[in-house]
């Protein structure tokens, strides 16, 4: 949670990489600079995962042969041969440059366990996960947004207190447990939506998407209700009310248009988080996808595949944030290029 | 156990105490509502949270005192018994008492949690301290690194670390700790930057105190507050992350009763034995809720919940 709060605080100031001087020019230059920054982050993520997975005292080949703590049956000669075949006998700098070069051409190596190219394995697993994450994101926005609007709109203090108490409970529940309890109640007791067994039909998507969406919905509810309260306390909503706009109109049109901005930033931050949540959700519901691939890759200590998944997560994060950063100026005149808030540069 | 997880209108787990609401205008309901009575009774939610926390500490430190059965050996005549007076949480497919297993699992899971938060706070704190105090290029470089690390979701980062380290409770703890470093570094740096510009630091410098002295004597103690409060929040997150990784099978080997693996073991008996998955999960929920509540009470700024 802290992680998100700080990430949000960070993302509301001008972009992180490079010098974000005020009023540097046209929209094209802004977009180009953001694209360049996104590429820099991806390169850095690649370098960091390389350092973590290949440079630490661990040896990829013995990791692969050990396969989760088992004894290795390979002779030292066979190990040396494998090392040579995968290029692990080269000095780290050469390994890094070779792999980076290949990565730039879209080759992230081959899975050590299946022998399938990593990019192909990810591409194959992406559609069901994208479906799941997309459905979860929509659910989270509707659910979290609904709770936030209702919690700030209601005049019943009891209901307001109840709705305000929901988000902390939402983030306190382990995703794997929520999924299992939902299956238990909905599928086994009510006999609805029997979702286990890897089916990808619409009915089979309901429970996994709901499970994956809950923590995100709780965050959205939290940040959006904060945003709405802040806007409702500002003079412009009072003015709108005084000019005769209905309470609902002030709430949904005037307060929401400003109060939604921090939430939009949050959505950019949590989109990558959905991919991590998919690891748990896909395991619980036995669905195919990126999450299943990740869990098995970690179990088998399949380094190239794990690196591929981490890079994919970084790509998703960067793209989502890029999209949000490009959308934000359209929705908020205050952050339009050349009109940045003066307080924005403060740490 | 049920108090923090079921927010009832009479004693909501989330009900802030009177001092809590004082400096969060706009979030509180009007003072003359029936809820004023609830808020005037100080800390209904907080005392429940503290109670849960003390109980958990007891479980973790002296598990045998709190459990009547052996967590590892089962009674074959008592297989899959529903919760009752003899077995509070029921028994599993081998006739082991689930309550005893949860109690004994507390020490594994909570030890991993403490280790994870401690590691994250120490490493992140040190990074943030250096970054904030050194400033300039060091600061720029370290913070860009933090940016990159935060582009990868915490759970995935932990899993990448586990790939390298291998399985086990300690490795899971280290992996979760690594995923916390960035957040701690960021908060510590912000605090150090805030404190470094304070007049008393300036005065100490002008008075001829060496930089090491300024750091240890003035900057460190005065920037610790928000970092500790973040540690409290992260404690709840660590319980979730540790049990998720344990659920996925990356924790201790099977007979060990980690909370996450208890839920995972119960998966095969979901149709007949609901308690095997539900009850250990409820313990996790209660733990996380109570740590969040406690962290909020110790937060000087009384930030919003969560």
pLDDT in tens, A248-263: 888 888 888 888 888 8
B2 within 8 A of B278, measured Cβ to Cβ: no
Find which of A87-91, B258-262, B280-284 is predicted with most confidence, using mean pLDDT: B280-284
Give this prediction's pTM. 0.81
* DSSP category for residue B30: P
Between chain A and chain B, the number of residue pairs with CB atoms below 8 A apart is 221
Cβ atoms within 10 Å, residue A136: 25
Cβ distance of A297 and B163 shorter than 8 Å: yes
> What is the pLDDT confidence band of residue A61, given thresholds at 50, 70 and 90?
low
> Considering only residues 149 to 208 of chain A, which have any Cβ-Cβ distance to chain B shorter than 8 Å?
157-158, 160-162, 164-169, 171-177, 180-181, 183-184, 188
More confident residue, A146 or B16: A146
Q: What is the predicted pLDDT for the residue at B202?
A: 85
What CA–CA distance (Å, rounded) separates B246 from A86?
32
List the single residue in A1, A69, A280 with the smallest CB-CB distance to B166. Answer: A69
Helix B220-247 crosses helix B275-298 at what angle (to 10 degrees)? 170
pLDDT (average), residues B38-58? 74
End-to-end CA distance of chain A: 20
Q: What is the predicted pLDDT for the residue at B252?
A: 81
* Nearest residue of chain A to residue B150 (CA atoms): A7
End-to-end CA distance of chain B: 19
pLDDT in tens, A95-125: 788 888 888 887 788 887 787 888 899 999 8
Domain borders along chain A are 111-331
A289 within 8 A of A129, measured Cβ to Cβ: yes
Beta bridge partners of A110: A117
- Tokens representing residue B8 in the block: 């009832």
* DSSP category for residue B91: B
What CA–CA distance (Å, rounded) separates A229 from A240?
15
- Min CA distance, B34 vs chain A (Å)? 9
More confident residue, B39 or B137: B137
List the single residue in A5, A233, A306 with the smallest CB-CB distance to B160. Answer: A306
B94 within 8 A of B81, measured Cβ to Cβ: no
Q: What is the predicted pLDDT for the residue at A55?
A: 73
- The CB-side HSE value for B230 (13 A sphere, CA atoms) comes to 27
- Tokens representing residue A226 in the block: 């904060």
> In sequence order, what are the residues at sequence separation of 6 or more whose Cβ sits closer than 8 angstroms to the Cβ of residue B128?
B184, B185, B186, B187, B188, B189, B190, B191, B192, B227
Helix A175-182 crosses helix A202-232 at what angle (to 10 degrees)? 130
- How many residues belong to chain A? 347
Answer whether residue A2 shows pLDDT above 60: no
> What is the pLDDT confidence band of residue B24, given thresholds at 50, 70 and 90?
very low
Give chain B positions within 8 Å (CB) of A313: 151-153, 156
> What is the pLDDT confidence band of residue A201, given thresholds at 50, 70 and 90?
low
pLDDT in tens, A225-241: 999 999 888 899 889 88
CA B131, B136, B137, B141 torsion-angle sign: positive
Q: Which CATH number fits domain A111-331: 1.10.3720.10, 2.40.100.20, 3.30.465.10, 1.10.10.10?
A: 1.10.3720.10
Beta bridge partners of B91: B97
pLDDT in tens, B148-162: 888 888 899 999 999
Q: What is the predicted pLDDT for the residue at B158?
A: 93
- Min CA distance, B298 vs chain A (Å)? 15
pLDDT (average), residues B121-139? 88
Answer whether residue B41 shows pLDDT above 70: no
Q: What is the predicted pLDDT for the residue at A210?
A: 92
B51 within 8 A of B236, measured Cβ to Cβ: no
Answer whether residue A269 shows pLDDT above 50: yes
Give chain B positions within 8 Å (CB) of A171: 288, 306
* DSSP category for residue B97: B
pLDDT (average), residues B73-88? 77
Q: Which long-range contacts (CB under 8 A, 24 or more apart) does B275-279 make?
A: B275/B82, B275/B83, B275/B89, B275/B90, B275/B98, B276/B90, B276/B92, B276/B98, B277/A177, B277/A180, B277/A181, B277/A184, B278/A177, B278/A180, B278/A181, B278/A184, B279/B83, B279/B89, B279/B90, B279/B98, B279/B102
More confident residue, A292 or A74: A292
């Amino acid at each position: 949670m802290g992680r998100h709060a700080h990430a949000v605080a960070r993302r509301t100031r001008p972009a992180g990489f490079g010098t974000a001087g005020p009023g540097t020019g046209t929209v094209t230059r802004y977009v180009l600079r953001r694209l360049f920054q996104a590429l820099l982050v991806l390169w850095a993520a690649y370098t960091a995962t390389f350092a973590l997975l290949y440079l630490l005292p661990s040896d990829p080949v013995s990791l692969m042969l050990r396969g989760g703590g088992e004894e290795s049956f390979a002779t030292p000669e066979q190990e040396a041969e494998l090392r040579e075949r995968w290029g692990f006998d080269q000095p780290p700098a050469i390994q890094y440059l070779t792999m980076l070069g290949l990565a730039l051409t879209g080759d992230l190596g081959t899975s050590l366990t299946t022998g399938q190219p990593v990019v192909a394995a990810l591409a194959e697993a992406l559609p069901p996960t994208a479906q799941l994450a997309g459905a979860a994101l929509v659910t989270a926005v509707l659910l979290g947004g609904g709770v936030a609007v209702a919690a700030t709109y209601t005049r019943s203090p009891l209901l307001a207190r109840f709705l305000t108490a929901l988000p902390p409970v939402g983030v306190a529940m382990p995703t794997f447990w929520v999924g299992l309890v939902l299956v238990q109640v909905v599928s086994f007791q009510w006999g609805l939506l029997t979702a286990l067994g890897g089916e990808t039909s619409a009915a089979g998507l309901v429970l996994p998407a709901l499970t994956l969406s809950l923590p995100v919905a709780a965050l959205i509810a939290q940040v959006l209700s904060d945003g709405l309260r802040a806007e409702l306390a500002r003079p412009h909503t009072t003015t709108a009310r005084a000019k005769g706009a209905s309470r609902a109109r002030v709430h949904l049109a005037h307060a929401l248009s400003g109060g939604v901005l921090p939430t939009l930033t949050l959505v950019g931050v949590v989109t990558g988080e959905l991919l991590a949540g998919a690891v748990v959700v896909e395991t619980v519901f036995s669905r195919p996808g990126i999450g299943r691939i990740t869990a098995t890759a970690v179990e088998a200590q399949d380094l190239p595949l794990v690196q591929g998944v981490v890079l994919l997560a970084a790509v998703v994060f960067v793209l989502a944030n890029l999209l949000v950063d490009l959308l934000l100026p359209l929705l908020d005149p205050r952050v339009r290029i050349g009109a940045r808030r003066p307080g924005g540069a403060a740490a | 156990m049920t108090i923090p997880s079921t927010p009832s209108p009479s004693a909501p787990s989330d009900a802030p105490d009177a001092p809590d609401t004082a400096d969060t205008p706009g979030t509180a309901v009007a003072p003359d509502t029936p809820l004023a009575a609830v808020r005037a009774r100080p800390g209904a939610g907080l005392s429940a949270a503290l109670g849960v926390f003390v109980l958990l500490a007891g479980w973790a430190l002296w598990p045998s005192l709190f459990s009547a059965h052996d967590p590892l050996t089962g009674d074959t005549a008592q297989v899959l018994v529903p919760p009752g007076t003899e077995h509070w949480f029921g028994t599993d497919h081998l006739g082991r008492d689930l309550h005893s297993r949860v109690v004994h699992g507390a020490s594994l899971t909570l030890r991993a949690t403490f280790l994870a938060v401690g590691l994250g706070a120490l490493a992140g704190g040190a990074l943030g301290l250096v970054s904030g105090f050194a400033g300039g290029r060091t600061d720029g470089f370290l913070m860009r690194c933090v940016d990159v690390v935060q582009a990868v979701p915490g759970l995935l980062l932990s899993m990448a670390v586990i790939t390298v380290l291998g399985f086990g409770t300690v490795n899971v703890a280290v992996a979760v700790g690594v995923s916390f470093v960035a957040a701690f570094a960021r908060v510590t740096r912000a605090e150090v930057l805030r404190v470094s510009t304070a007049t008393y630091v300036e005065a100490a410098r002008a008075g001829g105190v060496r930089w090491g002295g300024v750091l240890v004597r003035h900057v460190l103690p005065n920037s610790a507050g928000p970092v500790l409060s973040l540690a409290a929040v992260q404690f709840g997150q660590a319980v979730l992350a540790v049990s998720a990784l344990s659920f996925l099978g990356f924790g201790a080997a099977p007979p060990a009763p980690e909370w996450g693996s208890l839920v995972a073991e119960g998966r095969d008996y979901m149709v007949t034995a609901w308690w095997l998955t539900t009850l250990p999960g409820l313990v996790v929920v209660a733990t996380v809720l109570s740590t969040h509540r406690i962290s909020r009470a110790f937060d000087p700024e009384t930030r919003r919940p969560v």
